[in-house]
Every structure is written in C-alpha cells, then in structure tokens.
Structure 1
Amino acid sequence: MKTKSLLLFILLTALTVAASASQYRNVFVEMGYQPAEVDAKLKEVFNDVFHGPNKVYFEVGDSMGYISDIKNHDARTEGMSYGMMIAVQMDEKDIFDRLWRWSKHYMQHQEGQREGYFAWSCKTDGTHQAEGAASDGELYFITALLFASNRWGNDTGIDYKAEAQHILDCIQPRAFKDERPRPQRPGMPPSSGMAYLIDPETHLITFTPDGFGQRFTDPSYHIPAFYEVWAKYADDDRSDY
C-alpha cells in the first residue's frame, strides 16, 4: 500500500482542509504558499490515491470499496481506517461509507471473543488472512467514525456514533470488570484471550490486543488528540478515563 502517500495526505488534510473556517489555521499559507496552490496540491494527492492510474482505492458493487496494499494484494485495517480519515476530512461521504461498509462486513468480528475488533489483513475478496487486530486500525476507525458523526449526522444511512460506541464497548470495558482476561504482564505466559486496546495498568495502547502484543506498544500508535476526540464526542461514559 502507498502508506507514505496516505500519511502525507493525512498530514496535508490536517494542515489545510479546514482552513476555510476562521478558527482553523492553514500552516502552508502561513509559510507563504498561495491558498490556490495548497488546494491544488491537496487535490493532486487525493486524486492520486483514490482516482488516478496508480490509485489504491477500488469500489465493489453499489455500496462498498476497499484500499489495497498493492504490493501484498490485500486490504488492511491500517489502510481502510486511514482512508476513512481522509474521506471524512475531504467531505467524501460516499467513499467513507463504502470503506466503512467493507470494513464492517468483511473485517469486523460480530461475535465471539474478538467481537468489535477487526481482522487486520484480508484478501481483496474479503477472505481473512489473519483473525487478530492491529491496534492502530481500531484507533483510526473510532476517531474517523466520530468525525463522520459530527460532519454528516447519524441519520443518513449509517449511525456513525453508534458504530464508534460499539467498538469502544467491545475493546475498552468501562470498569475493566467484564469477563475478558486481564492483560498479562511482561514475563508472564501470554494469554490466549483478547486484551484491551489500551492497557489499563500502563494506560498505553497495545501493539496488538492479545496475549502477545499486549505486552508492548508502538510509538506510531500514540495519538493523544484522538483520545481527546473520544472524551468529547463519544458519549460513552469513559470521558474521565
């Protein structure tokens, strides 16, 4: 997947997409670039990722779509959730909804011990290549859904806030007292069960929410601003945490 392109695009949108509203800064304009030049660059990168000859976004039927890791011929929660974040910031509701429907239909576990989590890698036909989750996917899914809730509301076909709340209910129990096994500490035998997305003892996001990855984290997963969004907009009784 064009991970660098996706990350570049997220950076560009973060710095420019809301600049028309007076309360947001456009850092590139502050550096001396003309607004039209910035907008053109933003559209160029967006079109390269979603529409151009080297695109990584592909539509499926009338209502779904996926972002492919072209090199490995699969779709990953990293790319799907990054793509949703890009789509909501660019006000591309159709792309956002298509990516979410594909993610929910093919990737998200709807029952069992992994309920609410997402299989991090699927073939482009939706077949799972791995059942476990990679925590950055859930991190971006939740935040993108809350952004969509605020931008488009929850009565246009998808209840975005309810979807975000469902993930949170599954991956981060309110009181940490449900039936899920508590995370094993370093040096202890890994648990076969699922753990929390955020470790309740260290308050750090897990590398993977399972017996192996719960024992460490990944610096690229630490995005405190996302937690501020959850606290403010998730309405899930976890804002203090």
Structure 2
Amino acid sequence: MLFDLSLWQISVLSIALLGAAYVRGYSGFGFSAIFIAFAALITNPLPLIPVVFTCEILMTALQARGIRNHVDWRRVGALLLGAAVALPFAIGVILSVGDQTARLIVSGIVFTMSLVLLSGWTINRRIPLAGFTGVGVISGMCNAAGIGGLPVAAFLTAQPIAAATFRATMIVYLTGLDLITLPLMWHGGLVTQDTIIAAGFAFPLLALGVWLGGRQFLATTPKTFRKFAVMLLLTLASLGLFRALI
C-alpha cells in the first residue's frame, strides 16, 4: 500500500485531493495548504509533500492554455529569484526552529493580514520588483513546510490586480517554486517511487477538480473573486494555526 496508508486513509485523502484541486482550479492557489493540513489529521504529511508538489505541476499543464496570456512574468521572475535564494537554506531553518513553530509564525502573519484585507484595504502604490523578490525569499522559506504560496497570495491580494492576472501569476509562480523544491527534496530522500505512483493515481481527480474550479472562475466577478481569495487565506491560516497549536 502506498506510503503504508490504509484503504480508508487513501479514500479520505482522495476526497480531500478533489476538493483541493477544485480550489486550485478556481483561485490558482491553496491546493498544497489545504491538502497538507487535511492529511496531517490522519497521517504524517511529510512524505506526501513531494506528491502534492508533483500534482501542482500536473495541474498547471492542464491549465496552461487558459492562463498563458494573463501571467505577469516580471512579477513571477522576481518572486522566483527570491525563492531560489532562500530554498537551499529553508530546510535547515525549519529543522532548527521546528516545522510546527514555522507554521505557527507564518499562519499567524497570514491570519492577521487576512483580517486587514477583509476591511477592503489595498496597497495602491506600485511595488518595485525588489519588493516581490523579498516576498519570494519569505515564500521560499515557508515552502519547506509546504505553505510557500500563502505569503505571496496575501501580498498579491492586497494589490489592485485583475482576477485573471492574480490567478495565472499564482499558478505559474507555484509551479516554478515546486520545480525548484522537488530536486532538493529528492536529494534529501523524500522523492521515491511511491511519489510517482501516487501522482499518477491522483491525475484523474486533479483533472476533474481543476476543470470544475475553472468553470466556476469563468462565472465569477472580480469582487467575488477577491472576497473568496481573502476568505480562503483566512481559512488556510486558521487551519495552520490549529494544526500548529494541537
């Protein structure tokens, strides 16, 4: 059995996978944070993190045609530059402070920022690319715990960015982040044959979830999308706090 999971654990995780894929198809982020938080309730999520990252890359392949004209490549490049600098050191930092401590800090910051965003506050001035690189560094550090997308999503949500651009930029950035992270995890022994098999079994659920989420995105308004993004951030931060505290 994959990762020594029982049949009931695989069934429950499959449902969580479909739900997380739907959220990713709609919003462009949240897949890793949702699935890892849920998996932590019934098993050790660490071996599943490379599976999650592989799944995100597969989902991007499914979404590529519909998002390529909306990607803000300059922002993606600046974010990835910061993440690439941070990632080689991220594992050491996580080991020194502890996975739960890191999640508690990151989730607390995102939770607080989500409450501020709920008030309608936005960053109206133009952010230089160096600012995105700095956020990329924070994201890279957080990705060792599987939640690298949350700081970036909170940062972009605070800016007056079109919903299609936000979604496409998040999808491409997270894919680049995963492509940088997976070789480091392979070097650390976390990527195994089970990782590839699990990702293959997950593909039909990913395709269905992304398709349903994408259809919902096309029917939404910019105001509704921003509200959903903020509420999703708030929910994911709450899950992170809950997991870390218990």
TM-score (norm 1): 0.27
Which has the higher Rg, Structure 1 or Structure 2? 1
Higher strand share: 1
Q: Which has the higher contact order (CA 8 A, sep 6+)?
A: 2
Higher helix share: 2
TM-score (norm 2): 0.27
